[in-house]
Structure 1
Amino acid sequence: MKIFKIGGSVITDKAIYRKAKMETIERIAGVLSGMGEMVIVHGGGSFGHIKAREFGFPGRLDEGNRMGVAIVHRDMVDLNSLVSSALIKRGVPAVPFSIIEHYRDGAVDYSILPSLLRAGLTPVLFGDTYVSGDYCGIYSGDRIMRDLAEMLRPEEAVFMTDVDGIFESDPKRDSRARLIPRFSGEGALLGGSGDVTGGMRAKVKEALEIKRFSGRVVIMNGNFPERLLQNGAFLGTVIE
């Protein structure tokens, strides 16, 4: 059993509202089609973050931003459909799982997942809005990964980001940034990227937590999904 998180920055252009990177989605789906039993999670990118910011989520839900819940959720469902359709095209029996429909009493009810897996299906979850009283929250894909790891105890948890792994400095700003091939929680984390879910810093924090429940945790570049198939040295960061 493996769990995969596909970052929103990998499968969308985060600067353009609802701009999906279909070629990348297709390539990732092709590689994942040979991974056996798995659960897949994907982020929102420009399908989630742009409108979430516009409507002030997470935050108080009121008359002025109620429509935002519907819009953000709709957009995420549309992105999930693109991902699921690409998987189905390659023979993966992908079944969407929506957080907003399963959030109750302060937690997500994942109880249906083991039944789906026993049936040979592949659940595909996604970062989503959720409503609790007069509050609208954002349940991130990274948080979903932690929930799944604790519940399913996977042999491997893989985070696909838009960089090769964890670096000593931000590789998007520092061309000399060095990749950290093995990371145990010591050393500098990347600064927050300013997105709704906290960027790489939040991802690393979740990855360290997930390591408690998973046999192997890695962060890799989702733009090169074929690296999952390499038999040689792995290019990415292994969480220890």
Structure 2
Amino acid sequence: MVYLKAGGSFLTIKEKPFSLNFRALSSLARILKGVPAELPLVLGNGGGSFAHIVVKAMRDKYGARPLLVRCQSATRWLNKLVVDYLVSEGVDATSIQTSAIITGGPGGFVVNHLPVVMSIKRGIRPVVYGECVFTEDGYSVLSTEAVFTLLAERIRPSLFVFLMDVEGVYTCDPKKCEKPELVSRIDSSNATRVLKSLGDRSAADATGGISGKVRSAIELSAKFRVPVLLMSGFNTDDAVKALTGHLEDVRGTVVYIER
């Protein structure tokens, strides 16, 4: 099973609340139409300028109820826009409401993965997303990576691919510094050093910015012993190659932690 995340920084304009990047949506549709229909794939979209702004603005000022309601409203809105666009472009995709299949119980999260499995068996691309989910104590903010982790514990992964608005992980912010260098591989020998160099690059991201994404990629690779590729979603040809298992010569950052 391939898990494909279309990141919020890719799908939305993160500096502009509730704004879509239609060039990114078009690229995502081309990628999905470029891979074999029989390829088992779970798609997840990030929150971007829809979810992160709501969560960060309300987390410290309001109680659990208004935050939960507005978080779910914003994340479902973005997910619906993404799925509706994909369907209009000829991609057989359907929304799987994250908070309807994942809840927090006394012993951890309870996951009903069957809607995802049934969707894939019928040749339909299930689209999950990061969301605020119900727990016995109130709510929990789950990133798309956390949703992938819970699903992958039940639907074994072969590869994770994160689509971003840049070509991978850099030694410094490629949008700000003069000489950014692409980190082509992160493994046990350099993971700690790379994380330290990233610091906290994105104050606008409720789930940790690029540092949080790299940390999640490291955890996913270590847990499931599979590669995680971080790459540009605008590089459609390379994305299709990667999704079909051809990671060689694909421009991006491969995270592979062998334990």
TM score, norm. by length of structure 2: 0.82
Aligned: 1:238 with 2:254: yes
Aligned: 1:199 with 2:218: no
Per the TM alignment, residue 57 of structure 1 is displaced from its structure 2 partner at its CA by 6.6
AA at the equivalent of 1:191: G
Is there any run of 5+ residues in structure 1 with no aligned partner, and where? none
Could you tell me whether the CA contact under 8 Å between 1:154 and 1:214 is conserved in 2? no
Partner residue, 1:50: 53
Aligned pair partner of 1:179 in 163, 170, 182 = 182
Per the TM alignment, residue 58 of structure 1 is displaced from its structure 2 partner at its CA by 11
Could you tell me whether the CA contact under 8 Å between 1:160 and 1:221 is conserved in 2? yes
* Cα separation, 1, equivalents of 2:175 and 2:135: 37
Could you tell me whether the CA contact under 8 Å between 1:59 and 1:136 is conserved in 2? no
The farther-off stretch of 84-93 and 19-28 is 84-93
Instruction: Give the aligned CA root-mean-square deviation in angstroms.
Output: 2.3
Partner residue, 1:89: 88
For 1:67-216, list aligned pairs within 5 A.
Answer: 67-104=66-103, 105=105, 106-112=108-114, 113-185=116-188, 186=190, 187-189=193-195, 190-192=198-200, 193-194=202-203, 195-211=205-221, 212-213=223-224, 215-216=226-227
Aligned: 1:8 with 2:8: yes
Partner residue, 1:18: 18
- Percent identity of equivalent pairs: 29
* Cα separation, 1, equivalents of 2:211 and 2:113: 29
Per the TM alignment, residue 206 of structure 1 is displaced from its structure 2 partner at its CA by 1.7
Per the TM alignment, residue 178 of structure 1 is displaced from its structure 2 partner at its CA by 1.0
Per the TM alignment, residue 222 of structure 1 is displaced from its structure 2 partner at its CA by 1.8
> In structure 2, the residue corresponding to 1:84 is in which secondary structure?
helix
**Normalized per residue, which structure has more helix?**
2
Q: Residues 210 and 134 (structure 1 numbering): CA distance in 2 closer, same or farther, change over 3 Å?
A: closer
* Cα separation, 2, equivalents of 1:56 and 1:81: 24
Per the TM alignment, residue 141 of structure 1 is displaced from its structure 2 partner at its CA by 0.8
* Cα separation, 1, equivalents of 2:12 and 2:76: 14
* Cα separation, 1, equivalents of 2:19 and 2:25: 12
Q: Residues 93 and 141 (structure 1 numbering): CA distance in 2 closer, same or farther, change over 3 Å?
A: same
Could you tell me whether the CA contact under 8 Å between 2:233 and 2:239 is conserved in 1? no
How many residue pairs match? The answer is 236
Q: Residues 93 and 57 (structure 1 numbering): CA distance in 2 closer, same or farther, change over 3 Å?
A: farther
* Cα separation, 1, equivalents of 2:61 and 2:127: 23
* Cα separation, 1, equivalents of 2:138 and 2:66: 13
* Cα separation, 2, equivalents of 1:144 and 1:168: 28
* Cα separation, 1, equivalents of 2:234 and 2:110: 30
* Cα separation, 1, equivalents of 2:61 and 2:185: 33
Is there any run of 5+ residues in structure 2 with no aligned partner, and where? none
Runs of 4+ in 1 over 6 A off after TM superposition: none
The C-alpha deviation readout for 1:168-217, integer Å capped at 9, x for no partner, is: 22323322121111110422221222220011222112212222426432
Q: Residues 108 and 15 (structure 1 numbering): CA distance in 2 closer, same or farther, change over 3 Å?
A: farther
